[in-house]
Structure 1
Amino acid sequence: AFILALVQFIRYLCKYFEKQAAAQKNRVMVIVLKVLGCIIWCVEKCIKFLNKNAYIQVALMGTNFCTSAKNAFQLIIRNMFRFGVVAILGTVIHYIGWTVIFVGTTVIGYFIFDAFHPSEDSLLPLLTYAATGYIVAHLYMNVFGLAVDTSLQCFIAAEEMGCAEEYVPGPLKSLVDSNPGKKKWKMFGSSKARFLEALCGA
């Protein structure tokens, strides 16, 4: 959290200096600060992504945050394609879900208000419904996104631990990597690996 706050502070600082450079009509400095701000924005997004996955690892495996962050990073590197596909599909579904909830809440709210108070001005209630729909959609889809990421990590963990047959739902079993040359327990230390081997009977 401290690192994320520091990166955000640096990004806002770059924006401030960019405005100062623009006021002084220093185009070169403006371009440099824009590029720097873009790089810092990318770093911030990466930190947020890693931070979220690290907390998922904490919940799944009970390891401390630093170990979980390392395991999450290694897990993402080993499964870049899967995480990439889920990220793209998740983003599309996120915006579709957000739009449906937001628009649906506003429209249904309008009809409810119009049914009970047909002669009243509906602008203020409509804005209230829209604000409520926006907040609810944002909160719900954030939880949905976290559930998707957690499910993906659970799936990969079951695959790497060799417990897929026991824990992975039937429709997903065809997606499990059954390559016998693939090493198990990559995401764990030796002591935890031995425990998980005994647990899963691997």
Structure 2
Amino acid sequence: MGHKIVQDLSNSWPYIVGALVVAMLLCLIYIFLMRWFAGFMVWLSLFSVVGLLSYCCYASYMKYDELGRAGGDSDSASSSSNSNSGILNQVQQEVDHILHMKYTWLVFLLISAVLLGIVLVVMLFLRNRIRIAVALIKEASKAVASIMSTLVFPLFLWVMQLLVTGWFLLVLLYLASSTHPVYKAAMDNCTCHTLSGTYEAGDRCDPDTFSICLASCPTAVCHFYGSEKEKYVNYLHAYNAFGIFWLMFFISAIGEMILASTFATWYWTFNKSNVPFFTILISTARIFRYHLGTAAFGSLILAVCRVIRVILEYLNRKLKKYDNSFVRAVLCCLRCFFWCLEKFIKFISKNAYIMCAIYGKNFCRSARDAFNLLMRNVVRVFVLDKVTDFLLLLGKLAITAGICALSFHVFTHELEYKDYVNIPSLNYSIVPVVIIGVGTFFIATVFFGVYSMAVDTLFLCFLEDCERNDGSAEKPYFMSKELMKILHKKNK
């Protein structure tokens, strides 16, 4: 199987590379289309969700009413159970039994109704915030289109992360080979007495000084028994693991700060045509000169939190063999707490880097200012975050699914080709499709990660713009005319 997979990859690699190039182009096209169709996509998605939830409520109620008139729960699925059936059949029978219970559909009805109510409330009372989110998404598209080098910049970070990962693996292999040889004595019914001690069969010995035993035990031999790990290796493994966490978070922090500085420069330039051509290079030089300490401190906090989570996972695996409900509950609570803590620290760190890129303050002051600013606009933060996440997830899934479907039809020869198109016949056509799918999702994540950073940066700049400026000649607004129109503001 492995030989056939390698043969398939050697025959199909040009098509895999071509599919990944097409995925990059589709990501660029999607980002550009967001500039004009972001509002349409957001509202269409919301109305589609409303329609889907309404249909779920209707279907659940009809099924609940039908089972209620039929006399309650139906046991038809469970009555046909066979002891000789396989595990899949048993699972299928259990699922059918659950779906024939009227209270199952009552639960579905309640869940659908609650979700429908939440979406309707959001659409009715937060529609103005949704309009602001759509306008900021359009602004992010303009910023990315204005500074196209930001789309290539993540590749530089990716190369740095590959180098760090390679160094980690190199150190890991070196530590794994940090051993010393162990020699043990082999002798027949005799004991060797030396100044350093007494040797018996199976005792450790030193081949350089063991020759003195040959006088009393002529058949004694000090032979190689095996290798033993150095005592300090486990501590160095822990140090190496902490180093990889810190360096990976540090590289990500540098990338976020450089992109934040780039997009903040674009926002705070009143006339966008005056944005410097080499904005990202200027931002890179500024971050490396002034703010490496900020990135290192923020990534250190995340690294410590990640190490604690790894230790908790290790303890959880070790304690699984002990049937102690209290210990399992405590570990579960601790794992959940530190998972939430890491997510919160990542959120605060990202916004702290943006504030640091705008004002140049240290990490703690930037984190405090960002947190206070976001708390003063918590509803806008929630709406923008969810709207952006939904659109980017929609884009990732659409591009990945489209490329995978196209590649599947190509490699399975379900499409008609011209004579000059020679698609190779593969042993496993699914192999290149899976590789293309994973690569496409990774490329989409890289491109949309830049776009997400642009949205978050412009959002904080927009909030600062609203609080710092009043539209006068001395303090004009830097936001777009569309945003000023939504907020009923204007420059005098």
- Which band: TM-score by shorter chain? 0.7 to 0.9
Picking from 328, 340, 343, the partner of 1:45 is: 343
**Unpaired segments of 5 or more residues in structure 1?**
179-199
Offset at residue 159 of structure 1 (A) = 0.5
Pick closer, same or farther for the CA change 1:21–1:63 going to 2, 3 Å.
same
Cα deviation digits, residues 62-83 of structure 1 (max 9, x gap): 3232321121111112111111
Root-mean-square deviation over aligned CA pairs: 2.4
SS of the residue corresponding to residue 70 of structure 1 reads: helix
Amino acid at match of 1:147: A
Select the residue among 458, 470, 484 that pairs with 1:173.
484
Residues 73-88 of structure 1 aligned to structure 2 (within 5 Å)? 73-88=371-386
TM-score, normalised by the number of residues in structure 2: 0.34
SS in 2 for 1:154: helix
Q: CA deviation at 1:18?
A: 1.7
- What is aligned with 1:135? 442
The farther-off stretch of 153-162 and 120-129 is: 120-129
Gaps of 5+ in 2: 1-298
Letter in 2 for 1:142: G
In the alignment, which of 30, 55, 76 is matched to residue 328 of structure 2? 30
Letter matched to residue 127 of structure 1: V
User: How many equivalent pairs are there?
Assistant: 180
- The residue that corresponds to 2:83 in the other structure is none
In 2: Cα distance, 1:123 partner to 1:163 partner: 59
1:14-50 alpha-carbon deviations (Å, 9 max, x no partner): 1222222221111211111111111111110000001
1:167 counterpart SS class: coil
CA, structure 1 residues 119+143, in 2 after alignment: closer, same or farther (shift >3 Å)? same
Matches within 5 A, 1:139-154: 139-154=446-461
Q: Which amino acid aligns with 2:447?
A: Y
Contact 1:58 1:64 in 2 (8 A): yes
Q: Is the 8 A contact 1:105 1:133 kept in 2?
A: yes
Q: 1:69-121 CA deviation, whole Å, 9 max, x = no partner?
A: 12111111211111111122122122111101212232344456655344522
Looking at structure 1, the residues matched to 403 and 356 of structure 2 have their Cα atoms a distance apart, in angstroms, of 35
Match of 2:314 among 16, 24, 45: 16
In the aligned structure 1, how far is the partner of 2:461 from the partner of 2:410?
Answer: 42
Q: How does 1:118-129 map to 2 (within 5 A)?
A: 118-121=423-426, 122-129=429-436
Residue pairs, 1:111-122, within 5 angstroms? 115=417, 116-121=421-426, 122=429
CA distance in 2, matches of 1:175, 1:168: 11
* Cα 1:9–1:110 shift into 2, 3 Å: same
In 2: Cα distance, 1:109 partner to 1:53 partner: 39
Question: Take 1:55 and 1:94, find their aligned partners in 2: how far apart are those partners?
Answer: 22
Q: Partner residue of 1:106?
A: 404
Is residue 394 of structure 2 the alignment partner of residue 96 of structure 1?
Answer: yes
Question: Displacement of 1:152 after TM fit?
Answer: 0.8
Q: AA paired with 2:347?
A: F
More strand per residue: 2
Residue in structure 2 matched with residue 191 of structure 1 by the alignment: none
Moved more, 123-132 or 110-119: 110-119
1:24 to 1:177, Cα distance in 2 relative to 1, 3 A: farther
* CA–CA distance in structure 1, aligned partners of residues 482 and 405 of structure 2: 36
Residue type of the partner of 1:120? S
- The range that moved more, 134-143 or 117-126, is 117-126
Q: Secondary structure at the match of 1:25?
A: coil
C-alpha distance in structure 1 between counterparts of 2:406 and 2:461, whole Å: 37
| In structure 2, distance between residues paired with 1:81 and 1:51 | 20
Q: Is this contact kept in 2: 1:159–1:177, CA < 8 A?
A: no
SS at match of 2:341: helix
Q: Aligned partners of 1:41, 1:127: CA distance in 2, in Å?
A: 30
Change (3 A) 1:55 1:110: same
1:158 aligned residue (460, 465, 473): 465
Shift of 1:5: 0.8
Of 137-146 and 60-69, the range deviating more from structure 2: 60-69
1:160, distance to aligned residue in structure 2 (A): 0.8
| Bigger helix fraction | 1
Q: Which has the higher contact order (CA 8 A, sep 6+)?
A: 2
SS at match of 2:477: helix
Secondary structure of 1:166's match? coil
CA pair 119-2 structure 1, distance change in 2 beyond 3 A: closer
Larger Rg: 2
